[in-house]
Amino acid sequence: MNMTKFVGIAALLLCICSDASLVRAAETLELNTDASKINFVGKKSDGKHEGGFKKFTSKAVADFEKPENGKLEIEIDTTSLWSDDEKLTNHLKNPDFFDVRKHAKASFKSTALVVGEDEGHAKIKGELTMLGKTAEIEVPCDVILNEKSIEVKATFVLDRTRWGMTYGEGKVSNDVDVTAHLVFNR
Amino acid sequence: MDQNLLTWCVLAPASFAVLGSLCGWWIDRKLVSGAECQSDGQTLSLSSGMIACGWWAAICAGFYSSDSVALWPEEAWARALWPVLAAAIFVSPHFKPSGIPSDAVFSPNHSVRSDTPGLWVLVSLIAVATASLVMPTGEGWDDMIPLHQPWIAAVALATICNSFALHRMSQRGANRWLPLVMLAGLASSTLICASAYGALAQACFAAIVATAVIAIFSAGGKLLAPAALILPCSLFATTMIAAGRFYSYAEIAPGDYAIAMFAPAIIALVDRIFTNKSPALRISIAATTAIAIVGYIAYRFLLS
């Protein structure tokens, strides 16, 4: 989800070509936590539930000359988890799912940023650590560059079982739809 | 039903409970014939131990369904397995009928007399030890540490009260249908656990299946000492309720937990009023009380 930020960096580079006034060589970006969201949708045989995390921080660096040098790190406070059902929120926090007492943080650290051929598109590769396990993921992103901010939007699917979250397999879908909308102030 | 749940929370627990009950029944038959054992007391101890150990093996299967069986499990709640085993081996045999003439062995109203002060000291010690063992500690649990002492006290007190009340109830001629009362306590703990953490609920469900099997044997007059389950079952149910509390982030009134924890004692207390009535009436009243308690717990923890 946070990978999107990386994509944003890549997109910024592309934008530089079109609008020099918006671009500086390398830029440390500050996350606008109020405007940013990391949400997910879990599906089961008889429906689906929305959820997300209220608290997360991010460190991002955009390199407009060499976009591939951009970096993104995101740290999620898993105790801030929410969902559209209070009892589900309770269950999601327990060891069947996020085990927030034992693993209060989940993190993403980018390892590569690939700028797409289309302007405003990129892929962020990185390592997502959750429940004490680290797995590599790849996130496609859209990046919107403004004078005051950089917005990164990403929608992707995570297989929860890669991090050992196997509760309810067969009834609860392994694939979780993740949406990240990260807004960085410039 | 999920194959893992079907295997480890239904079929395996039922099989272990049947095995324990058959062993208990076979030993009880020897008591009836009066042959091979040195005394009735020894035979009944063995019979009680077999039933309790079969029941323990059944909940072990439930723990196994969530990979929670270990010598020293990482999750504190799963450590309850060992003190429950100790209770099954060392204490359950003391909850036995004594001085029963052979021709009364399968009488539904035979009495159970074994409550020496030493037994209740032992019950208290094992209850406090178990409660202390299952309190979650470590990084991430710091905010819950102030709850440890009250919950250790609550688990210990509820275990002692439930055991004492059920024991007295069995002495009042309810021995044959005693496991049905235990089921009410387990149902309450299962509902609370189901609202929080699947692994806890799976262990509780295995206990329900095993207790239901033993209840069938007992109701059919095949078991002399179903009272063997009193301590292991009380200990397990209260421990799981405490674990359910620690894995809950919902605001639940302490009184609701208290009703669930003391459910068997409440049923026994109501039954005390009707001691001299017919078994059918007593069973009906106990069942009504149990349904009311379990229904209230279901409403408070799952539906409201």
Identify which of A21, A25, A5 has the alpha carbon closest to the alpha carbon of residue A146: A21
pLDDT at B211: 97
**A95 vs B199, B249, B302: nearest CB:** B199
Inspect the interface and report whether the beta carbons of B197 and A102 lie closer than 8 Å. Answer: no
Alpha-carbon gap: A43 to the closest alpha carbon of chain B (Å): 17
Long-range contacts of A164-167 (CB under 8 A, 24+ apart): A164/A131, A164/A133, A165/A97, A165/A98, A165/A130, A165/A131, A167/A96, A167/A97, A167/B198
Percent of chain A past pLDDT 70, that is, above it, reads: 87
Cα–Cα distance measured from residue A162 to residue B182, given in angstroms and rounded to the nearest whole number: 40
Are A91 and B196 inside 8 Å of each other by CB?
Answer: yes
Instruction: Report the residue of chain A nearest B301, measured CA to CA.
Output: A87
pLDDT over threshold 80, residue B111: no
To the nearest whole Å, the CA of B194 is away from the closest chain A CA by 9
Q: CA-to-CA distance for B10 and B61, rounded, in angstroms?
A: 9
Question: Contact A89/B249, CB-based, under 8 Å?
Answer: yes
B-chain residues within 8 Å CB-CB of A171? 2
Q: How would you class B14 by CB atoms within 10 Å of its CB: exposed for 0-12, middle for 13-18, buried for 19 or more?
A: middle
* B73-100 per-position pLDDT tens digit: 989 999 999 999 999 999 988 886 544 4
Rounded Cα distance between A49 and A3, Å, is 23
* Tokens of residue B127, six digits: 């209850």
- Residues in A lying within 8 Å of B, measured between beta carbons: 86-87, 89-91, 93-96, 100-102, 104, 167-168, 170-171
- Dump pLDDT digits (tens) for A60-89: 998 878 888 889 999 999 999 999 998 899
Q: Cα(B163)–Cα(B146) distance, rounded to whole angstroms?
A: 27
Please state the three-class secondary structure of chain A as a single string: CCHHHHHHHHHHHHHHHHCHHHCCCEEEEEECCCCCEEEEEEEECCEEEEEEECCEEEEEEEECCCHHHCEEEEEEEHHHEEECCHHHHHHHHCCCCCCCCCCCEEEEEEEEEEECCCCCEEEEEEEEEECCEEEEEEEEEEEEECCCEEEEEEEEEEEHHHHCCCCCECCEEEEEEEEEEEEEEC
Q: Which of B75, B199, B248 sits opposite A90 (nearest CB)?
A: B248
Is A170's CB within 8 Å of B196's CB?
no
Distance CA B242, CA B248 (A): 10
CA distance B9 to chain A (A): 15
Local structure of residue B110 (DSSP, 8 states): -
The answer to pTM > 0.95 is: no
Answer whether A90 sits within 8 Å of B198, measured CB to CB.
no
Asked whether residue B108 carries a pLDDT value surpassing 80, the answer given is: no
B247, B301, B303: best mutation site toward chain A, by most A Cβ within 10 Å? B247
> Which of helix, strand or coil describes residue B278?
coil
Amino acid at A125: K
pLDDT score recorded for residue B97: 53
B204 or B43, greater pLDDT? B204
Q: Which residues contact A55 (CB under 8 A, 6 or more apart)?
A: A33, A76, A77, A79, A80
What are the pLDDT digits (tens) for B34-49? 555 455 667 778 888 8
Least Cα distance to B199 among B77, B19, B74 occurs for B77
Contacts of A167 in chain B (CB under 8 A): 198
Instruction: Write out the E strands in chain B.
Output: none
Q: Using 50, 70 and 90 to split pLDDT, how confident is the model at A116? A: confident
Q: Which residue has the tokens 């039954």?
A: B271
Which of A86, A95, A104 has the CB atom closest to B197's CB atom? Answer: A95
Return the residue of A nearest to B65 by Cα.
A167
What are residue A162's phi and psi, to 5 degrees?
-65, -20
pLDDT tens sequence across A33-59: 999 999 999 999 889 999 999 999 999
Complex ipTM over 0.85: no
Alpha carbon distance B139, B125 (integer Å): 28
Task: Select the residue from A44, A54, A78, A87 to test the B interface by mutation, using most B Cβ atoms within 10 A.
Answer: A87
Q: What does the pLDDT average to over B225-229?
A: 89
Contact A10, A61 (CB under 8 A): no
Mutation target for B interface from A80, A82, A88, A101: give the one with most B CBs within 10 A: A101
Residue of B155, B245, B169 whose CA lies nearest to B200: B245
Residue A94 CB partners (closer than 8 Å, separation 6+): A100, B196, B197, B198, B247
